[in-house]
Structure 1
């Protein structure tokens, strides 16, 4: 998984982001001001930086001048929502620009997109006897191919991308089937049952009472 530097001066937001990064398996470092980032970059290698703009010491736009030398992708997380600020962010080389407040699942999804662009070879997920190659959309169990429908694989990918996070049936319908899906949440239950059976993940895909499901990928 990725090593991510979270640069955010509001401790509650920093804690929320890093807690969820840990849940899905990423490593992270925390920074609460712009000045410390320079030292972090000298000491450690990062795959991604989540960067606020309004920071004590040195703001996010100034920091981009230093970050570009390390060729690390950056996602801005900021309350600065004007078009001119967004254009500045992208012109400075940011991969994405997310306005606060944001949904944590959307943030995780955008992180995955940026990481896939930067490190496409990392799209391999192994759990138990199952191996999932996300880019190739291929699944192996005990080194034998597992046949999944397109929708089953889409659901599997969403569970993997959001592993260790409880997802409601409604959220799964939205992420896998789309906003305009008119079916019932029971559709999710049927597909979950199939995934459990095909992958041997009866104990891994956990039912969350009166909510939905969670892929338990913790060791």
Structure 2
């Protein structure tokens, strides 16, 4: 008897795991790059979901959106499951992103103080009624090269997985990372868990030569810096 494993299509995923439904439920910033591209292309091929296909496209560019933005419609159409219409959608979306960045006229931000971090990520945490854990990734010169949501929790807390944190940072070729999470309660005092995870991540970063520069706890008006308080 022939035994085979059928690929589970996106339509059969749990609703919260489908890119479009996930965007509606949680907002666009909670989607990965691959999930956002999957929303654009809509479907994959016989062997891949739209998300898997998007991951393969990103992997071909070493997960570099700038490199992806340089691909032509012809380049994208070489991927099985990407026809001309889907390729055009990707190219158009990335071009809009490029024009938005150009219009804003923003230069890469250099982080020199904890206040720089707070000002940059305050819009991310504004008015949230649950905890989120983010990382800010920097290059050797301390310029920001990316930021990423690591985990999302409830009112009481969220779990920061070291494996996810360092995997993400390594994929971005970061030299340093800064940890940031919010306290919806407004209480800036670090919890025992905050102190423990910070110590664990600092130690892990030293082993990988990927150093944790700081850990901020933020509220809508104030922040607490582990670095400023001598806790890192």
TM-score by length of 2: 0.31
Name the one with the larger strand percent.
1
